[in-house]
Amino acid sequence: MVSLVPATTDSPLAPATTDQPVTTKTAADPEPGAAAAPTDSALHTVAVKDPQPEPPAPQPTEKPAEPEEPEPQNALTKQFTEQEWAALKEFRKQLPEILADAYPEKHDVRLTPITLWGVELNPNGVKSAKESVVLMKFLRARNLNVSEAREMLVNTLRWRESFKIEDVMKEEFDDKIFGRVGHIYGKDKEGRPVVYNVYGGNTKEVFSDVQRFIRWRVQFMEKAVMLLDFENIDQTLQIHDYEGVGLRSRDANSKNAASEATNIFGSHYPELLYKKFFVNVPSLMTWIFWLFKPLMSANTLAKMSVVGSGPNAIGKALLPHIDAKELPKKYGGEAPDF
Can you tell me whether residue 327 is helix, strand or coil? coil
- Residue 33 has a pLDDT of 42
Q: What span, in angstroms and rounded, lies between the C-alpha atoms of 95 and 93?
A: 6
- By C-alpha distance, which of 280, 279, 278, 312 is closest to 292? 278
- Residue 297 has a pLDDT of 72
What are the residue ranges of helices labelled H in the chain?
40-49, 82-93, 95-102, 129-141, 146-163, 165-170, 175-178, 203-206, 210-225, 252-268, 287-291, 298-302, 311-318
- Residue 204 has a pLDDT of 87
- According to DSSP, the residues that pair with 304 across neighbouring strands are 276
Q: Write the DSSP symbol of residue 121.
A: E
- Residue 229 has a pLDDT of 98
Are 151 and 138 contacting, i.e. CB atoms less than 8 angstroms apart?
Answer: no
Compute the chain's Rg from CA coordinates.
45
Neighbours of 194 (CB within 10 A): 24
Residues in the chain with pLDDT < 70? 1-67, 247, 284-285, 287-289, 291-292, 295
- Residue 50 has a pLDDT of 54
Q: What span, in angstroms and rounded, lies between the C-alpha atoms of 108 and 160?
A: 19
Q: What span, in angstroms and rounded, lies between the C-alpha atoms of 243 and 121?
A: 41
Q: What span, in angstroms and rounded, lies between the C-alpha atoms of 200 and 280?
A: 10
The rounded mean pLDDT for the chain is 84
- Residue 41 has a pLDDT of 44
3-state helix, strand, coil in the chain (%, to 5): 45, 10, 45
What pTM was computed for the model? 0.78
- Residue 282 has a pLDDT of 81
Can you tell me whether residue 238 is helix, strand or coil? strand
| Buried residues in 156-180 as b, exposed as e (16+ CB within 10 A) | bbeebeeeebeeeeeeebeeebbeb
Q: Tell me: the pLDDT tens digits for 202-252?
A: 788 999 999 999 999 999 999 999 999 999 999 999 999 999 887 677 789
Q: For the chain, which domains are there?
A: 77-163 (no CATH), 173-331 (3.40.525.10)
Strands 114-116 and 119-121, by their bridges, are antiparallel
Are 179 and 173 contacting, i.e. CB atoms less than 8 angstroms apart?
Answer: no
- Residue 202 has a pLDDT of 75
